[in-house]
Amino acid sequence: MLVKGATALVTGGAQGLGLSIATYLAEAGANVVVADRNAELLARLPKDLVGVEMDVTDPKQVNAQVAGIVERYGQLDILVNNAGVIFSEPFVNVMNPAGIMHDYDRFRSSLAVNLDSVFIVTSAVVEQMIKRRTKGAIVNISSITACGNEGQTAYSAAKAGVNAMTVTWSKELGRWGIRVNALAPGFIGTDSTRHALTETALKHIESNTPLRRLGKAEEVAQAVITLVENEFINGVVLDVNGGLRI
């Protein structure tokens, strides 16, 4: 599938990695709709990106918004499930006077935004793709932490779930011509990474990465284009991590 002329929906696309992916797709000639819950950031999007306010954890709202996008553009060809929030909390924290174990509510809310949202948005989009026989491409943004990362029980579990859904859907939806792949970035030099990690941790990661640097958001965006345009790639979790293993 050529990105040029296609219609793409990028969730969580008003800032950081999502914005880079959305911008890259638009530069490649796609009509790009950016879904984000932050109205202020949406208002500041570049002119070639169309913003839609969306809470990706709310199925009713997502279904209505996706139907609206399809009505406006005729069909949706590309979905990039990027929305998510990096979340770190150790399973056991003996320094926490409020309780040493990982908070269950925070575990659930991390899964809601990082895992349930992928299910919710993909359900809405795939229904539209099937109704219109759109041979679409779905790219789920996973993470290097999907293999299990110390201090990130909820986030790692959510991303492992994203990988499993990716492979499952690639098997189920292939017969409709819909391809589903995931992209697992390593540590990318975005604001969210810098907020989530200390300077010392970032230095440690850089020195342990074979390429000795953090990734760039554009490098992830380039990989998204590859997964969309190569029509024989399906059910893959593509690592974009500079060779880092955790």
Select 131 or 245, whichever has its Cβ closest to another protein.
131
CB 28 within 8 A of CB 80: no
Q: Which is nearer to another protein, 33 or 178 (CB)?
A: 178
Q: Which is nearer to another protein, 151 or 177 (CB)?
A: 177
- In the complex, the smallest distance separating the C-beta of residue 175 from another protein, rounded to whole angstroms, is 5
Decide: 36 and 235 in contact? Cβ < 8 Å: no
What Å distances lie between residue 48 and 55, 105, 125, 144, 196, CA to CA? 22, 38, 22, 31, 30
Question: Are 188 and 239 within 8 A, CB to CB?
Answer: no
Footprint on this chain of another protein (rule: CB under 8 A): 130-131, 133, 172, 175-176
Catalytic, 73? Answer: no
Rounded to whole angstroms, the Cα distance separating 33 from 216 reads 22
Provide the β-strand partners of residue 78: 8, 137
Catalytic residues: 155
